[in-house]
């Protein structure tokens, strides 16, 4: 006799085993997360087979763990052609059962945390609580600090009072050659921050931050690589706005091109950030700073089109959602960067880069050519340091030519 689990999933017989009573709620959870009917069928069927195998092998609910899923997949492979999504399906099942309290959380062996990591973690908490730095900045700084402490103290006790300038210099000389220039500069910034923190705590009496070597770098050495206005028009015209994904991608690309937002600012944009009456959008920038920006009519129209005829049903408050299950917001800036890369490749556009940041450079370049001041550009782009905006002076070639003196020898 057939047994209906969900309106889209029917089994040949009633499920058995320790997880049988929970398959309906599992199916509902899968459906709510936006998985396709085919994916749902596959996940429920292997879940039912797994539950039966658990019964046959005498495994109780309280003992179920990921190891049982691995052993079952080996058993299944000897009798049925393996499916690519089998392992992920069982992982989803076990995670769901744990979230529901059906399966107890698996105990993991306690790892001895090295003293260097303990010290670095205390520094991370200081940056988060006392300095209110963004998590992304903390995640950049802490690994460099861990490397320094391991370099100086190994796995032994960390005694910051024993640090000397020669230790700092030798570490930078050892580590910097293997890093890209920007990473090397980030490392020295992180080390100075940590050493100032150590002195603030009283663990270090000397100003070791001053001993951190400066990484050689020419100021404004490179011209920002900006996508041209014509390339932006071509890219936007190539998006198929008849599809839900196309409407989403078009709205995202317009936000990048017209407002110069960072990829993370687009990825984490929420429904409550848009004030439709006032025609404004609230942008969450670096270090938690928040700024109100005018919402151009074409951008607002594109976002509205996606929300009305493209955005999947979801409890998420994010404006832009993933196109594939699980239907949630982008995990981070990389999702927007990937969208830009694929859109450029599909359109066959030979852009300066494949990333999202070129739209910020493109907007700044266009504003500069139209006569906008550097302060106006910095305000639009959310630059806190005026020096950050100065780099765009190197792209205004036409304006620079008007300042060039004539060649003494005349035209040849």
Catalytic residue annotation: 262, 286, 357, 360, 383, 392
HEC assignment per residue over the chain: CCEEEECCEEECCCCCCCCHHHHHHHHHHHHHCCCCHHHHHHHHHHHHHHHHHHHHCCCCHHHCCHHHHHHHHHHHHCCCCCCCCHHHHHHHHHHHHHHCCCCCCCCCCCCCCCHHHHHHHHHHHHHHHCCCCCHHHHHHHHHHHHHHHHHHHCCCCCCHHHCCHHHHHHHHHHHHHHCCHHHHHHHHHHHHHHHHHHHHHCCCCCCHHHHCCCCCCCCCCCCCCCCCHHHHHHHHHHCCCCCHHHHHHHHHHHHHHHHCCCHHHHHCCEHHHEECCCCEEEEECHHHCEEEEECCHHHHHHHHHHHHHCCCCCCCCECCECCCCCCCECCCHHHHHHHHHHHHHHHCCCCCCCCCHHHHHHHHHHHHHCCCCHHHHHHHHCCCCHHHHHHHHHHCHHHHHHHCCCCCCCCC
Spatial separation of the C-alpha atoms in residues 354 and 357, rounded to whole Å: 9
- Residue 360 and residue 257: Cα distance in Å, rounded? 7
Q: What is the distance of C-alpha 171 from the center of its chain?
A: 30
Query: How many C-beta neighbours within 10 Å does residue 7 have?
Result: 9
């Amino acid at each position: 006799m057939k047994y209906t689990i969900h309106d889209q999933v029917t089994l040949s017989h009633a499920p058995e085993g320790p997880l049988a009573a929970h398959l309906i709620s599992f199916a509902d959870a899968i459906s709510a997360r936006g998985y396709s009917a085919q994916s749902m069928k596959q996940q429920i069927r292997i879940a039912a087979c797994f539950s039966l195998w658990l019964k046959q092998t005498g495994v109780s609910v309280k003992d179920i763990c990921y190891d049982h899923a691995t052993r079952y997949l080996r058993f299944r492979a000897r009798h049925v052609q393996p499916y690519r999504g089998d392992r992920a399906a069982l992982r989803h099942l076990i995670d769901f059962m744990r979230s529901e309290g059906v399966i107890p959380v698996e105990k993991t062996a306690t790892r001895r945390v090295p003293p260097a990591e303990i010290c670095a973690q205390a520094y991370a908490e200081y940056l988060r609580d006392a300095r209110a730095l963004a998590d992304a900045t903390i995640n950049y700084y802490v690994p460099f600090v861990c490397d320094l402490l391991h370099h100086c103290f190994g796995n032994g006790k960390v005694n910051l009072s024993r640090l000397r300038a020669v230790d700092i210099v030798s570490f930078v000389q050892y580590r910097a050659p293997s890093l890209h220039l920007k990473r090397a500069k980030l490392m020295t910034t992180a080390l100075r921050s940590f050493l100032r923190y150590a002195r603030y705590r009283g663990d270090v009496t000397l100003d070791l931050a001053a001993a951190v070597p400066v990484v050689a770098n020419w100021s404004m050495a490179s011209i920002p690589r900006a996508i041209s206005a014509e390339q932006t028009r071509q890219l936007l015209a190539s998006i198929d706005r008849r599809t839900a994904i196309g409407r989403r991608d078009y709205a995202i690309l317009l936000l990048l091109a017209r407002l110069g937002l960072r990829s993370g600012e687009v990825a984490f944009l929420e429904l409550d950030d848009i004030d439709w009456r006032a025609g404004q959008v609230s942008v969450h920038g670096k270090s938690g700073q928040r700024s109100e920006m005018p919402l151009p009519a074409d951008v607002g129209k594109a976002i509205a089109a996606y929300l009305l005829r493209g955005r999947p049903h979801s409890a998420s408050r994010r404006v832009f959602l993933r196109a594939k299950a699980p239907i949630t917001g982008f995990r981070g800036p990389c999702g927007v960067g990937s969208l830009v890369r694929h859109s450029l490749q599909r359109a066959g556009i030979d852009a300066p880069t494949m990333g999202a940041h070129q739209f910020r450079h493109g907007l700044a370049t266009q504003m500069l050519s139209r006569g906008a001041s550097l302060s106006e550009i910095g305000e639009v782009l959310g630059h806190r340091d005026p020096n950050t905006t100065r780099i765009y002076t190197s792209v205004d070639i036409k304006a620079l030519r008007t300042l060039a003196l004539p060649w003494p020898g005349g035209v040849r």
